[in-house]
Amino acid sequence: MNFNFLNFSETKILFEALRKSHIKAMFVGGCVRDAILGIETTDYDVAVNANIDHLTDTLRENGILYTDKWIRYNALQAIINDVRFDIVALRRDVECTGRDCKVVGVSSFEEDALRRDFTMNALYLSENQEIFDYCGGFEDLKNKRVTFIGDPIERIKEDNIRILRYYRFCKRIKDYRAVYSRVMKESAHLVVHISRARLPKELFEIIDDHKIVNLMYEDNVLQNLSNDCVNIKIFNRLENVECSLLAKLYSLFSYNTLLSNFGFSRDIKKSLVLLNKLTKEQNQTSLEEYSKQIVRDIKALKYAKYRIPIT
């Protein structure tokens, strides 16, 4: 396990400032999980046993720049040189609705762990590389298990995006057991409440793993994201075909669904319009003016949709 971020000079500056104010701090969540998995990360979450006022005073007194965009969630971002630390005061979430919820401070790292979504995201790492595992996340990671903390249906109701996060983490550690299939089928209708702007990021993280995408189809999740039929057979023809993630999405969902249901950026929307136009054209020579990636995508999609051989 390579916890190299513990040795950053920026980490030492931050933790020394917190220590001087008698604030206990530990890394938590994705950076700990990914380090255990051997994956590089630039997302550094830090949990602290201090209220937000004490935290902001400490950062200010030590000349550490911070932003307070998420202060109502007892969270802020400290910036030292080019390194950003997302610092969250220990808390318990109450009255959750989607991504929005009221929070109350707590003093226990263990209680803070219980509010998190999956056991693998509730691992805490101290300065001296000691791992604190309150929910069995280390064993779950070791055995490639994505496990909800608490009642999975209730956790999904608190924040509907946990449906997609579940599949994303299953893809990350190759957990294909589908142990929560019943839960996902029961909760699938809730995906319509996920912010359109957040859907592309989650789906782009998942779409290249055909086993996971097929699990989502079997659990009726994809169907609830779509205005039309979901083209799982066409999508599966691309399993061993080189193409972009956007092309895979285009093969799976209708053009209307992609434009209306997903909050793509302007550039991605332009690419979608082009994919839709070119896949309908019969003249192969019309592709000569486009980039290699566009040509590759169009040939892949014509193969998947119309069985036109890739040349």
DSSP letters, 241-279, are S---HHHHHHHHS-HHHHHHHS---HHHHHHHHHHHHHH
Residues 210 and 238 in one domain: no
Q: Are residues 17 and 127 in the same domain?
A: yes
* 257 plus 182 within the same structural domain: no
> Is residue 99's pLDDT more than 80?
no
Model pLDDT, residue 167: 98
Q: Per-residue confidence at 72, pLDDT binned at 50, 70, 90?
A: confident
Are 190 and 80 members of one domain? no
Is 79's pLDDT higher than 70?
A: yes
- The confidence score (pLDDT) of residue 94 equals 52
Q: Which of 195, 185, 172 is nearest to 217 (CA)?
A: 185
Please tell me whether residues 67 and 17 are part of one structural domain: yes
pLDDT digits (tens, 9 = 90+) for 32-60: 999 999 998 889 999 999 999 999 999 99
Same domain, 46 and 123: yes
Query: Given pLDDT bands bounded at 50, 70 and 90, which one contains residue 98?
Result: low
Q: How far is CA 285 from CA 18, 86, 170, in A?
A: 64, 51, 41
Q: Provide the number of structural domains found in the chain.
A: 3
Residue among 289, 259, 290 at smallest CA distance from 273:
259
- Residue 125: give its domain's CATH number: 3.30.460.10
Give yes or no: residues 139 and 9 share one domain. Answer: yes
Residue 289 has pLDDT above 60, yes or no: yes
- Per-residue pLDDT for 3 more than 60? yes
Say what the pLDDT of residue 307 is. 87
Determine the pLDDT at residue 284. 66
Q: Are residues 4 and 105 in the same domain?
A: yes
CA 162 – CA 158 distance, rounded (Å): 9
The string of pLDDT tens digits covering residues 224-260 is 999 999 999 999 999 999 999 999 999 999 999 999 9
| Mean of pLDDT values over 1-25 | 95
| 87 vs 140: CA distance, rounded Å | 25
Query: Residue 27, exposed/middle/buried by CB under 10 A (0-12, 13-18, 19+)?
Result: buried
The domain boundary residue, chosen from 184, 206, 225: 225
Question: Average per-residue pLDDT in the chain?
Answer: 93
Lowest-pLDDT choice from 82-96, 137-151, 165-179, 200-214: 82-96
Are 167 and 274 part of one and the same domain?
no
pLDDT at 213: 98
On whether both 15 and 119 belong to a single domain, the answer is: yes
pLDDT tens across 108-162, in order? 999 999 999 999 999 999 999 999 999 999 999 999 999 999 999 999 999 999 9
- Judged against a pLDDT cut of 90, whether residue 281 lies above it is answered with no
Q: Do both 66 and 123 map to the same domain?
A: yes
Specify the pLDDT at position 288: 81
Of 95, 97, 46, 98, the C-alpha closest to 74 is 46
User: Is the model more confident about 2 or about 221?
Assistant: 221
| Per-residue pLDDT at 101 | 54
Question: How large is the angle between the packed helices 199-206 and 210-218, nearest 10 degrees?
Answer: 120
Contacts of 233 (CB under 8 A, 6+ apart): none
Angle 152-154-159 from CA coordinates, rounded to 5°: 95
d(CA 272, CA 209): 21
Average pLDDT, integer, range 72-85: 94
**Domain-terminating residue out of 167, 194, 225:** 225
* pLDDT > 60? residue 102: no
Pair 175, 79 in one domain = no
pLDDT exceeds 80 at position 86: yes
* pLDDT for the residue numbered 285: 67
- pLDDT value at residue 88: 94
Domain end marker among 192, 225, 258? 225
Query: By residue range, what is the domain housing residue 190?
Result: 151-225
Confidence of residue 70 (pLDDT cuts 50, 70, 90): confident
Report the pLDDT averaged over residues 188-203: 97
